[in-house]
Amino acid sequence: MNRTVYSIEGKELRSIELDDAVFGLPVNEAVIWYAIHNELANNRLGTASTKDRGEIHGSNAKPYKQKGTGRARRGDKKSPVIAGGGTVFGPKPRDFSYVLPKKAKRLALQGILSLKVQSDTLKIVEDFSIASGKTKELAGVLAHFGPGERTIIILKDDDPLVKRAGANIPWLTFLSYNRLRAHNLFYGRRVLLLETAAKNLNTFYNSSDGLKGAEQREVN
């Protein structure tokens, strides 16, 4: 398929060929859901912790005898039914992360890219850099592509000056073409894909590098 390449002023420059195997696939909602769920699970700290009755500090003695008082029988003050007692089946520290198959991860990312193309929320922009590293200059570029909303910029490489310029823009996220994240990409209302990154994506997800990239994301 052919898509228009825009200048940083938002004007049409030329067209670029996008691979249908990357940007023109039917959307598989299930595999996208699994990819997003996997990323959220891998990001969970899993540090929530409660104490059961065996971990509460206090006496094991009963507050009063079992029979003859006319009151309900009761155990020690560490009992879960007493305020300040132990917690029943409370959370303990655990690891929520798990590995998603590399091919499923790749299919999900291809599906999200295809979805963004179908919904016309993905625009290809000529390569640019912010030499000054100033937020004002980058904000001027973004203003040509619509109002401030959750925006994803897919870079062709790790550009520290562009990232520094966007550090103070809360609704802006940077991704590298070979390290995409399903959650950020799916929920981005606007995706700006640099021209070289688009060309790289044409080959990256059609080669063994795409599988290696997915494997690296799982490890990290």
pLDDT in tens, 4-63: 999 999 889 899 999 998 999 999 999 999 999 999 999 999 999 999 999 999 888 998
Q: What is the pTM of this model?
A: 0.81
Domain coordinates of the chain in residue numbers?
2-40+99-219, 50-90
CA distance 28 to 30: 6
CA distance 145 to 163: 18
3 state SS of 90: coil
CA distance 155 to 130: 13
Please tell me the CATH code under which domain 2-40+99-219 is placed.
3.40.1370.10
Eight-class DSSP state of 153: E
Percent of the chain residues topping a pLDDT of 90:
69
pLDDT in tens, 195-220: 999 999 988 887 655 454 454 445 45
Contact of 205 with 110, CB cutoff 8 Å:
yes
